[in-house]
Structure 1
Amino acid sequence: MRAVLAAPTPTLLVIAKSPVPGRVKTRLTPPCTPEQAATLAGAALEDTLATLSRVPAGRRLLVLDGEPGGWLPPGWEVVPQCTGGLDERLAAAFARAARVAPRAPALLVGMDTPQLDAAALAEPLSAARRPGVDAWYGPAADGGFWALGLARPTGRLARRLLLGVPMSTPDTGRALLARLAAAGLTVHHLDLATDVDTIAAARRVAAEAPQTTFAACLRSIDAAPGTAG
């Protein structure tokens, strides 16, 4: 009898910057100081990594601009981001995933959604739900996207989908969806999520997920003397 190969477990990727004051979450300043913005960024990253640590995965890759710190949980491999625009760095991250786990699907998220739920990510990535799905797409409320997954990632496909897509605009998500459609991929849409880019967005996310480290960090900042509302 021919052996039946088990479906490969997904590779999970988080693309992030080290939470260094003045280099992360600059749109939170003001009202936050650069140090407070970096603290919030670090909390968001901690929550994101903790959530994805609870999602079944074969490999977990942190694609990092900067140096890892004490916030890095066990089980994560740190790989450096390449140079270039965000479109190039995202494509390179998928190419890296394809090299380390050639048969496995790959899902990439950013560090801006600390409210993510592990079960909500694990279910669409499960072996039972993957047949017939070529890609996963997580829309962001600002018109971008918070997640992109490929069932059969290759460097060539990632470059075809991502290079030249305008990043950080209200049309980013629409442009990426058009690329996915043009490639003939069947897309599973994940839930809409809010990226933490502004203080208003940070407050919405903290209210949505008050149990997170991010929400506790924001409450602490709000309680600090002299903090602007």
Structure 2
Amino acid sequence: MRAVLAAPPPTLLVIAKSPVPGRVKTRLTPPFTPEQAAELAEAALADTLAALDQVPAGRRLLVLDGAPGRWLPLGWEVVPQCAGGLDRRLAAAFAHAARLAPDAPALLVGMDTPQLDPAVLAAPLSATERAGVDAWFGPAEDGGFWALGLARPSAPLAAALLHDVPMSTPETGRAVLDRLRTHDLTVRHLPRLLDVDHPADATRVAAHSPATRFATRLHHLRTLEPHPVPPLSPPHPEPTS
């Protein structure tokens, strides 16, 4: 019981781009304009930050490429992304979290899962459930991952796990899992989620979570006049985990 009470709360990280037209969600254009894609990106980011606001944490860090905007809630520290590929930027985010809170676990998510339920993270990261867990892994449907956590983050470990992993491929998640296993880390798997990358993904995520800002914004964009965005392909049943 003493160990549970003394366990430090986790550091939560979100890695994101500022929702600037032409720089975010470019695979949503067409049918959306760059401005509309940026609106959807802002809604997805706002939903993600709001979800993580409901997960108990010691610190909340937004690892940002760009400048913060009105969508940034109180209580979040903004950390600029480092230069280099995504593998380097993810590793640097964990290294920064380790410097700020060396004894706390750190979990990082992207801005592409506005349907994220806070309970999906709150329970696994709680002091009572994380005993014996070295890492957390949230697989994405496209073969990547939407969440990665380390119970004892450090710059060397993050580099060993992430440097030179090919990002944004169907094998990215498997490659990270292989490295976690190579380092003999006990991994707790989180539910599989769908990243919003393509127009059909937006339809499915909005149908699954209609109360989100993302779903509301998508519905609004589809009903704009005089040039409404045409309906996208119908949603498929959300896979269970």
Q: Which residue of 2 aligns with 1:48?
A: 48
Q: Which residue of 2 aligns with 1:195?
A: 195
Equivalent residue runs for 1:1-229 within 5 Å: 6-225=6-225, 226=227, 227-229=229-231
Partners of 1:170 and 1:228 in 2: how far apart?
A: 29
What code does the residue aligned with 2:140 have? A
Partners of 1:98 and 1:162 in 2: how far apart?
A: 15
Partners of 2:136 and 2:119 in 1: how far apart?
A: 15
What code does the residue aligned with 1:111 have? M
Tell me the matched-pair count.
227
SS in 2 for 1:63: strand
Q: 1:112-151, CA deviations, whole angstroms, 9 ceiling, x for partnerless residues?
A: 0000011121000000000110000000000000000000
Partners of 1:106 and 1:37 in 2: how far apart?
A: 30
RMSD: 0.9
Output the TM-score relative to the length of structure 2. 0.93
What code does the residue aligned with 2:88 have? E
Partners of 2:62 and 2:33 in 1: how far apart?
A: 26
Partners of 1:192 and 1:82 in 2: how far apart?
A: 28
What code does the residue aligned with 2:133 have? V
Partners of 1:141 and 1:120 in 2: how far apart?
A: 16
What code does the residue aligned with 2:218 have? L
Gapped regions of structure 2 (runs ≥ 5)? 232-241
What code does the residue aligned with 2:230 have? A
Partners of 2:169 and 2:31 in 1: how far apart?
A: 23
What code does the residue aligned with 2:6 have? A
Partners of 2:21 and 2:120 in 1: how far apart?
A: 32
Partners of 1:169 and 1:159 in 2: how far apart?
A: 19
Partners of 1:202 and 1:174 in 2: how far apart?
A: 24
Q: Which runs of 4+ in 1 moved over 3 A?
A: none
Partners of 1:46 and 1:15 in 2: how far apart?
A: 13
Identity %: 71
Gapped regions of structure 1 (runs ≥ 5)? none
CA drift of 1:228 comes to 2.9
Output the TM-score relative to the length of structure 1. 0.98
Partners of 2:51 and 2:63 in 1: how far apart?
A: 16
CA drift of 1:224 comes to 1.3
Cα pair 1:32 1:228 within 8 Å, conserved: no
CA drift of 1:215 comes to 0.3
Partners of 1:167 and 1:31 in 2: how far apart?
A: 26
